[in-house]
Chain A
């Protein structure tokens, strides 16, 4: 057995992981989630805004991290729509444009009373990374002469009086890397003291925690926080519980649990094999 496990082909581990993730998906196994204090800070930052407040929705992620971040982006969109906030979508990643369109489709389908140009708008993507942030914080119209669809921003009602990102009451950033939350903190939240919440990938989240609470109100770190935030939004607006797509993060916690148990077992097993080998003097 020792020899078999020591020389185990890694492809068997991949197969085990496939089964560990696929089985809960097919069996639709879900677990209850209780929002943590950090998630509730993010929830309250939006919940506490008065109706009609302006919120910048900066979506800086692409299809490669969609599985992790889309549940957060959708939950933020639904929460802002429920609160009747004015949503300004923009992106610093070229492939984030379809992600914004996914969020806008939620608004079109589930909130048909909201109107493009009055309640939400898509500023689209601009190349230039943090250079874009540096410009829009002082003059948004210098870069955004039109929205994503080519409509002049001066003809869009909700752009009336908005000359820069400083006009926003809250910045929500969903980010998978650079440019993303770090740059928004560096060039907007810190120097201009703007309130900001973020949703980040698991890889990125540990680097962003030091910004809390002075520079960031809170972070949703990875799919676990996304599931908790979805639960918080559903607790606040119970009619959302009927919408299957409003529970994407919650649904993905079943595979998480089984997958993590498998990783823990494999780590323990690998250590046991290592120590047995060391006792036997096996240095291979």
Chain B
């Protein structure tokens, strides 16, 4: 980048920093307030069976309401979310340590979450719970069916799991290939059936449709007929494009070229959809930063007060 561009970016970042500094100095923001409610569950004899407190998040504009208090843990979470969002956004300017840190946190936290939830939702209730149900009920899953009996068939998946983990051992790594082969074979088997039924046979069936579509009055439905014809021509021309046993010249070549047009239109539609998806994700993150973190909100959801809160951020609080 040249010096003029560097200067322009420096000015943009300084303006953003001044805005944040001013927001910190003047307004309430970056806090989460909750409304506390006591929930009591009574037993059949009227005694209190259980009691706990629920914390419901309230919008920033209601933070002065009765029974509403600041939630420190949620506020820390809010700041962590906002800072990590900005760290990820910083990649748009260029690769940097802030982005790398945020990326590592996401990967690490996701992996840990996956391990913990996999342990408590599958290994405990479905594996250990089936082999030794009474013992599992006493320390891990009290809600497990009290009439459940031990099912020793589940020793087989336990054995396969141990064999799979054997690759971590210094010797006998080949043992893990046996369960791996079983999983690959089983997965390929039932995926094949799924694809054959839903993506092959059912799709051929869905393409065999009348070209002249009749409306309820008995006449020809022009638009539905054009749609059906377009679909049939599109399917045939795209199939011919991928048919390489015949040279693509003459009628075959022209049909294949038409197939390319259909494919290009499909890719274009896919690109348009992708843009829509990405903008939706960006707008959700900006809504989080503007409304939940910076409190650039207004008591009434109209354009004038929205603009006013941007100029005078305290308005929304």
Q: Which residues of A contact B (CB under 8 A)?
A: 9, 11, 14-15, 17-18, 21-22, 25-29, 64-68, 70, 94-95, 97, 109, 124-128, 130-131, 134, 143, 145-152, 154-155, 183, 185-187, 189-191, 201-203, 205-206, 210-211, 214-215, 221-224, 244, 251-252, 255-256, 259-260, 263
Contacts and interface: CB of A to CB of B under 8 A. Distances in A.
B80 interface: no
Closest 9 CB pairs of A and B: A67-B284, A202-B277, A202-B273, A186-B194, A223-B280, A190-B198, A28-B306, A255-B283, A186-B198
A203 B148 contact: no
A14 B92 contact: yes
A169 B120 CA distance: 30
B283 A252 contact: yes
Given A143-B126, A152-B144, A224-B276, A15 B202 contact: no
A211 B113 CA distance: 34
B290 interface: yes
Given A14-B92, A28-B306, A127 B199 contact: no
B306 A26 contact: yes
A222 B273 contact: yes
A29 B125 contact: no
Main secondary structure of the interface of A (DSSP, over half): helix
B287 interface: yes
Interface residues of B, number: 64
A252 B280 contact: yes
Given A21-B279, A143-B126, A190-B202, A150 B273 contact: no
Contact of A145 (B129, B269, B275, B302): B129
Main secondary structure of the interface of B (DSSP, over half): helix
A214 B198 CA distance: 10
25 contacts: A9-B5, A11-B9, A11-B92, A15-B12, A25-B283, A26-B290, A28-B306, A65-B281, A97-B117, A126-B122, A127-B118, A134-B190, A145-B125, A152-B145, A183-B194, A186-B198, A191-B198, A202-B276, A206-B266, A222-B280, A223-B280, A252-B284, A252-B287, A259-B282, A260-B279
A127 B122 contact: yes
B202 A201 contact: no
Given A130-B194, A202-B280, 15 more contacts: A21-B283, A26-B306, A67-B280, A68-B280, A109-B56, A130-B191, A145-B148, A202-B272, A202-B274, A202-B276, A206-B273, A215-B198, A222-B276, A255-B279, A255-B282
A190 B206 CA distance: 12
A21 B148 contact: no
B216 interface: no
Contact of B143 (A151, A244, A259): A151
Given A145-B126, A224-B276, A263-B275, A9 B145 contact: no
B135 to A, nearest CB: 15
A70 B22 CA distance: 33
Contacts of A29: 303
Contact of B145 (A68, A130, A154, A206): A154
A17 B278 CA distance: 11
Interface string B263-275: 0001001101111
Contacts of B287: 25, 251-252
A245 to B, nearest CB: 10
Given A95-B113, A206-B273, A256 B306 contact: no
Contact of B273 (A128, A130, A143, A203): A203
A207 B118 CA distance: 30
A146 B141 CA distance: 8
Contacts of B70: none
B62 to A, nearest CB: 12
Interface in B158-193: 187, 190-191
Interface in B109-155: 110, 113-114, 117-118, 121-122, 125-126, 129, 141-146, 148
A215 B122 CA distance: 30
B296 interface: yes
Interface in B234-271: 266, 269-270
